[in-house]
Amino acid sequence: MNIGERDELLFKLIMTYKRDHNQTLFGQPIKSVGFMGEEFSKLPVDFTIAGLKGLSDVQLETIPFSIGCGKAPAGAKADIEINGEGVSLKSLQAAPPALVNHTARPGFEFACQNAGVSIDTLDNIIEDYWDKRMSGVITEDTRTTDLNCPFFQYREYLEPILEYFLFDGTGSKLSIAPAKYLIEFLDPCNESSYKKLNRQDTIAKIWPKLIFSLRAKKGMPSNYDINTYTGKGAASIARWVRYHSNDYRGALHIRISK
């Protein structure tokens, strides 16, 4: 179990404990804790928060399982529901996850449609990315802290797209469990380290840390060749593709630096 998975389970157990003992979170009573409409069962009467950090990984998996609590499934943007609202959890001790895994243009068409924005501006940004990359102005990875970054000037346009991928869905489908807000923490057992971020707050925090890149292989059709590929979304995929460094590259990857 990695540190992020461990911290997520610790947080869920603590929220369940707080519910069982009529405690609060950010000043609000915790009346319900569960996932996808299913309430977590009550913890054993002898359960204490003080002993959590000493639990082995096996113990830490056994207790949540006994109350119907576990790791959120793939496709879920929320990790837990508190008072009926989906919440995404982020441990600051864990390595930052990819915000958008390698996704070709059809996936961003789907995301833009659900985010309520046109993909046309993103097409122009990608064109600028390739112009600058081919001419050596930028490398594969381009950061929003770099004034040459093609994405740098488009924060307002990109915000709803980034929010979609963080809270609502992927490039292929809407999430089975969307999130309304995010809670980040340095230590799940220390409530003073908790911070609640709404969608706008989340984007404001991560924007200076974003890294964009267009890559090959992952996110692209198998053995992709722009001259021969005629599968689903062929015309759309081709719009972002360039042959560079001995491969066809056209899957946009967005990650958050430490």
pLDDT in tens, 84-102: 999 999 999 988 889 999 9
Average pLDDT, whole number, for the chain? 95
pLDDT for the residue 258? 80
pLDDT in tens, 7-21: 999 999 999 999 999
pTM: 0.94
pLDDT for the residue 60? 86
> What amino acid occupies position 79?
D
pLDDT in tens, 163-184: 999 999 999 999 999 999 999 9
Give the residue-averaged pLDDT of 40-46.
94
210 class by beta-carbon count within 10 Å (0-12 exposed, 13-18 middle, 19+ buried) = buried
pLDDT for the residue 97? 80
pLDDT in tens, 213-258: 999 999 999 999 999 999 999 999 999 999 999 999 999 999 999 8
Query: How many angstroms separate the Cα of 214 from the Cα of each of 16, 36, 243?
Result: 42, 34, 11
| pLDDT(155) > 90 | yes
The three-state secondary structure class of 184 is strand
The single residue listed with the structure tokens 């609640």 is 196
pLDDT for the residue 78? 97
| pLDDT(72) > 90 | no
pLDDT for the residue 51? 82
pLDDT for the residue 96? 82
Q: Say how far apart CA 144 and CA 186 lie, in whole Å.
A: 25
The DSSP symbol for 164 reads: I
pLDDT for the residue 244? 95
Give the residue-averaged pLDDT of 126-144.
97
pLDDT for the residue 75? 84
b/e 39-63 (16+ beta carbons within 10 angstroms → b): ebeebeeeeeeeebeebeeeebbeb
